[in-house]
Structure 1
């Protein structure tokens, strides 16, 4: 309905302003606005708060009284993204007068679910559709027979994932469905976020606030922006710091099959701080040579000015393709969007229902250049096409240094990724930028990704066992630098593996010095290509199973860093086998023992 002077209490100017505004509002914004107006009206009438509802509205009065202002926010997070969003959600709700509890799922007692009226879930999906480590026990409980009926529960789920994986946001979808199955009611629909999650997460939070406030019958005015706390940095994921490259070295010896870069970056003037176990987010650039091939294939003008985001920022097309958009990964959603722009019937046929395996096979190892060469679309304006591309995601790398040992610096250990598939040479976006195009004096846009799920024990006397083959050695270099600085007395044991002792023992002199000085108590290495039969870190663990179990019994914490699909999976099974054998336990008891270690933060993984 259009507002007019004749059908409303507004003058002509007010009616015109409202007619322009109202069609642009989302449902959550309309809910918020109605609540705000109701609250301000109540506040302006003396005695309104004490005035009882009319006798004809007992149900409404009862409903308002039973709605709780308490909100529980649970997160399942592997790298820290979900935790950061959960904590931000808690803060925003507290600013609006809610009493909020924010907790990791592993720290939450599932039996308390029955006591909760308002539950928010923020969960990432790990690997092939699995819950993150700190969500495993809660996920198992919720999907088990002991899960209670939750008829009084109102909930909403924010799900994080990567649409290039088949089981995109699977964990969040499972939590959302299970809470409904148990009788819960959604106070706002689930939102599934891809790698660029900032905008959809903000919309979800607005919707949640609207849903919670609608139930109360009123909404508080927006809270003022919080003042920065002492020690906070202005630089973060959405405003990265341009860190100068101080050193860029190849850690592998001549003749190695690998190239592993050691980067030292300056954080001077950034205010950024971190702890061992945290990661550094790096925003890379695409290879200009690949961008040139794309432009040649599409016949687009490299200098055409294009809009790159919802805020209306503009760049020349070539610059936008180099620095702003992801062009090396294909996802099913991208193919579906491209099909809408293309007249190519083969692409539409590929995306037909039931062809999931064919889509997965096609996207594996191919990039945007392959898509355009195979299916087009041809003749589509550049602006229209780039609108379907994902924003360039940051790459997360385990920090390989201690801030206490290297003030104003952060070190990284990055393995160069090169391979051939589908008839073309392929390169890792960030790793080859670092290996081939990044020089001392250049800068990289970076931010700190805090990760509370991979931290040294609070007690420096606690023994630690570190398993980190290849670049998985990175956080353990940070651990040892930190322990050396603080004079920690706890024992430490490293298991490291790679291909060849002579060329691939990363940071060899540092580890040997720590071993000699007693900073590292034990070190066992496995170089798979130096022996006729390949030997890996899990083989070394089995060789020392008795002593390793003794360390566990003494209270040692176990840390694993590296490839999840193979190494971390094998090491996990090896730990189970050691516990079963040396502890004289059944497989079920051994699994419970390891799960207890995980619950008590004595088994932590930084896997990718």
Structure 2
């Protein structure tokens, strides 16, 4: 039933309907093994049933699969691995690292971890607690553990797969034994999955208890709620699309409303949505013309046959130029200035980061066959956007806040893949392929009485719109403080009327605004934090959770300002301020969503 609709569960005569099953799946996702066992016993007790100790004992000797995801790719790989394990008759425990208690590692025997890397070699926010535990654990504490690590990264970045490398080193340093070589997958990670999964599942098979009952599920016996992911996207209808910056604003920002079925799609404020966008047909035709390639030539893509035009539309990156493509292009063109880049990785990354494929074709033409051309290109990746709504207010909708990526360079107009589709080409009534990318490291506190400080720049305001909708719907007592920055008050104050309404009805208790181009002295969100430093410390002392959404550079500036605030207004020295910040991280009270 992996590809079936949830409503098809009714055909199996289960006592829960599709919505109840969806809610149940959402409730248990991310629970640790110990929590799942406790919950099963609790539910059995409610139903008058019993649980046996042997089930719990057997699970201790079984396979645990953890994932730490940023874009949803690690979750997708881990879920696929768990599915493949079940097809072998194994009973793996699958969990998001954010819901896993690190001390349970001492009870694990076989552990497979799928982890991505973000920022400057950092693990996903959801893995911070695990990394802190591992760095503080005693030597040889995990002698009993055997493990394997599957890393996800992008080799165009300097700190490629650094989180996977660090995790592997930490586990090995604590006495754990790797049963397979660490995988450092690039953007085309599916190509690395097959051989690795075969190897690690063979190992899990061999280590499974001999007396364990093996039941390989049939299609009708498997209670597999559909998981909408990049391989099985959800078709969401576009209900509305409108510009929310003025016509004379530098940035074209659009508010997009998608229709969803709440029985099939559930999300929390702070989660992201993955958009599977196709390339611009006009761009594809220009590329085919420049490369002098026949659009109807058939090529193979992942074992399937496609004509070249269709393959370029749906399967390959055309607007994000990978350094590997430039490196191969340099070899084929033998152009001196391109060849010079091969000895300077930083220059190669910079060259690729400022250009698109159309620029290579125009400025460095080469003769190439259709198959070789396709072989050069990287697979088309989903684009992630922060969700700008809450299902507490819009149960059957999902909102996006999207800034158009458009610029002139090298004598040509450039348009982003997804933003071009979302903000220019797609029309109301058409369907968009999406999936939810959970972001548990950027969720509201469970206690609605806790104050929150939300710091966002530009479209980084999107998740905080969902936060306020959720907090207002729950009528919690916690205070809300928005710190928002953009270029101009009159052109770029996104959702201005809504924030004013929240202020007037008592849900937005404080707003600090920074519009950088409205005065000669550039003012940004970090400056507003410094201005209100004493109040920031008071809110933190009262248990406030602080959220930051925006660029990596912006988050660094906010972090620096916060450390200054703690020194100046909390009476701490530099070391003490740093420790206070680390405490906020450990308590989950400083959370970021950066890009």
Q: TM-score, normalised by structure 1?
A: 0.79
Equivalent of residue 205 in structure 1, options 171, 177, 197 = 197
Equivalent of residue 589 in structure 1, options 572, 576, 595 = 576
Q: Does 1:455 align with 2:443?
A: yes
Name the counterpart of 1:165.
Answer: 157
Stretches of structure 1 lacking an aligned partner (at least 5 in a row): 1-66
Q: Does 1:362 align with 2:351?
A: yes
User: Aligned residues, how many?
Assistant: 535
1:350 touches 1:358 (CA, 8 Å); kept in 2?
A: no
Equivalent of residue 601 in structure 1, options 565, 568, 588 = 588
Q: Does 1:521 align with 2:509?
A: yes
Matches within 5 A, 1:122-141: 122-136=114-128, 138-139=130-131
Distance 1:81 1:555, change over 3 A: farther
Name the counterpart of 2:334.
Answer: 344
Equivalent of residue 239 in structure 2, options 246, 254, 266 = 246
Distance 1:554 1:152, change over 3 A: same
More displaced, 358-367 or 135-144? Answer: 135-144
Q: CA deviation at 1:428?
A: 1.6
Q: CA deviation at 1:475?
A: 0.8
Partners of 1:139 and 1:335 lie apart in 2 by 35
Q: CA deviation at 1:388?
A: 3.6
Q: Does 1:398 align with 2:386?
A: yes
1:347 touches 1:375 (CA, 8 Å); kept in 2?
A: no
Name the counterpart of 1:279.
Answer: 272
Q: CA deviation at 1:506?
A: 0.3
Partners of 1:449 and 1:594 lie apart in 2 by 27
2:62 touches 2:208 (CA, 8 Å); kept in 1?
A: no
Partners of 2:181 and 2:456 lie apart in 1 by 40
Distance 1:177 1:268, change over 3 A: closer
Matches within 5 A, 1:60-209: 69-83=61-75, 85-86=77-78, 89=81, 96-97=89-90, 100=93, 102=95, 104=97, 108-109=101-102, 116-136=108-128, 138-139=130-131, 142=134, 147-148=139-140, 152-180=144-172, 183-198=175-190, 200-201=192-193, 203-209=195-201
Query: Over alpha carbons, which structure has the higher Rg?
Result: 1
Equivalent of residue 311 in structure 2, options 294, 305, 320 = 320
1:344 touches 1:375 (CA, 8 Å); kept in 2?
A: no
Equivalent of residue 537 in structure 1, options 517, 525, 533 = 525
1:125 touches 1:168 (CA, 8 Å); kept in 2?
A: yes
Q: CA deviation at 1:303?
A: 2.3
Distance 1:199 1:289, change over 3 A: same
Q: CA deviation at 1:478?
A: 0.8
Partners of 1:253 and 1:530 lie apart in 2 by 15
Q: CA deviation at 1:68?
A: 7.6
Equivalent of residue 434 in structure 1, options 422, 425, 433 = 422
Q: CA deviation at 1:90?
A: 5.5
1:306 touches 1:317 (CA, 8 Å); kept in 2?
A: yes
Partners of 1:84 and 1:323 lie apart in 2 by 20
Partners of 1:184 and 1:431 lie apart in 2 by 45
Q: Secondary structure at the residue paired with 1:472? A: helix
Matches within 5 A, 1:418-429: 418-429=406-417
Matches within 5 A, 1:276-315: 276-310=269-303, 312=304, 314-315=305-306
2:150 touches 2:182 (CA, 8 Å); kept in 1?
A: yes
Q: Deviations over 1:340-365 (max 9, x none)?
A: 7x37375994475x432342233221
Name the counterpart of 1:39.
Answer: none
Q: Deviations over 1:134-190 (max 9, x none)?
A: 334544665679554755542211101123323221221232345445554321222
Partners of 1:598 and 1:361 lie apart in 2 by 32
Stretches of structure 2 lacking an aligned partner (at least 5 in a row): 1-58
Q: CA deviation at 1:543?
A: 1.4
Partners of 1:572 and 1:225 lie apart in 2 by 50
2:97 touches 2:130 (CA, 8 Å); kept in 1?
A: no
Distance 1:334 1:176, change over 3 A: farther
Q: Does 1:266 align with 2:279?
A: no
Q: Secondary structure at the residue paired with 1:397? A: strand
Q: Secondary structure at the residue paired with 1:256? A: coil
Q: CA deviation at 1:289?
A: 2.6
Distance 1:374 1:259, change over 3 A: closer
Q: CA deviation at 1:247?
A: 1.3
Q: Deviations over 1:46-72 (max 9, x none)?
A: xxxxxxxxxxxxxxxxxxxxx982445
Q: Secondary structure at the residue paired with 1:387? A: helix
2:549 touches 2:592 (CA, 8 Å); kept in 1?
A: yes
Q: Deviations over 1:239-290 (max 9, x none)?
A: 2223222211111113211110111111248822212111111111222232
Distance 1:348 1:150, change over 3 A: farther
Distance 1:425 1:525, change over 3 A: same
